[in-house]
Chain A
Amino acid sequence: MLNISLGTIIWTTVAFLVVLFILKKMAWKPILEGLKKREESIEGALKAAEDAKEEMAALQSNNEELLNKARAERDLLLKEAKEIKEGIIAEAKTNAKLEGDKIVAQARETIKLEKAAAITELKTQVAALAIEVAEKVVKEKLSNDNKQQELVNNLIEEVTLN
């Protein structure tokens, strides 16, 4: 156990060095290389996944941006449409007002004319009526036709309508 035996030392040295050489060349090298390769591939895969995730995120933010843009455009369009609508309505309103005013004015004109015509007619009729009345009156009272006519005309002139 504690005594040193040269024979054992020789056997150990030879066996250990031979096995160390064999294992180094044929076992540890492929094992450590394999481990390294696998670690690298795992690391690569993880990195690729991370990259894909980032790309996804970028894509998503892109989408969001597009959506926002579309929304803004829509809003703009709606606003414009609203404005147009309001414009149209306002125009229509003014147009209608103008037309109405025109119609009213026309109506007024017509009324005025009609009124004038009516007055004239009324005047004529009243005159005729008055003449008739006067004629009848005068027929009874006056013999002279001309004198009577003069009198009536004077009377009518004095009457102012309106």
Chain B
Amino acid sequence: MAVVLVLVLIVVGSVLFHLLSPWWWTPIASNWDYIDNTIIISFWITGIVFAAVVLFMAYCVFRFRHRQGNRAAYEPENKRLEWWLMVVTAAGVTALLVPGLFVWSRFVTVPGDATEIEVVAQQWQWSFRLPGKDGKLGTSDTRDVAADNPLGIAPKDPDGQDDVVVEAADLHLPVGKPVKVLLRSIDVLHDFYIPEFRAKMDMIPGSVTYFWFTPTRTGTFQVLCAELCGQGHPLMHGVVMVDTEQDYLTWLGQQQTFAQLSTPKQTGSANQPSGKTMASALDVAAKLETLEAR
């Protein structure tokens, strides 16, 4: 009989946990509240099914447990009942699927006015590239990656010269403007993930992937890597700050373009960009070492 009690407790406990526990998603900061709504629909439908099945089971165990002289009924099948259940299930599944696909079609259709920005991942840091005055990102190739060109921007492409390069530093975005995030990696798989934005996508070396979103509130958000990328994976944090238009422009004004970064300067500072890469790579290496030392 204990099992009946436990089955009921599991249903009640799970529902209470769902409603009362402090662990829930982070406050949303993008336009993807559609996704949250789909999750809510899923919780309702699946929650009802879970409670119904387990409670029915508990009732069966309680009502039909073995007692002296009991004998089970003989019922090989009941076609009508089975068909009904199948139809109801199919309806439930459709109710989950249709809104899901609807939102997905939004997710894959990038609005025309979205600004393209690029995120470049490498073990274990994030860099960013914004289109310059021409509004276009230059082409890129992993083969072009070098000490003074850490993102592998094609040096010959005129579109790339005015691109703003943000290497291993914070990214700023203006609030309320749709962004198409182009994702690139120069070594292994990574995944650009900001829990508050809900959207994420893997980055694959050798190709460019994308997703889009519109930041809806200002603030500082932590970037996490969501695809295992080697032993530095948990340390691969970054920062995205969503600013008001004005703050954003101020920040943008302080950034350097690709052309500025790659013009040969006097010997002293020629190695600066590579020094920076090295510094951040060393930073991760140091973090790893402290971890191992612990």
- The reply to whether chain A is a binding partner of chain B is no
Instruction: Spell out B's residues near A (CB within 8 Å).
Output: none
Residues of A within 8 A of B (CB): none
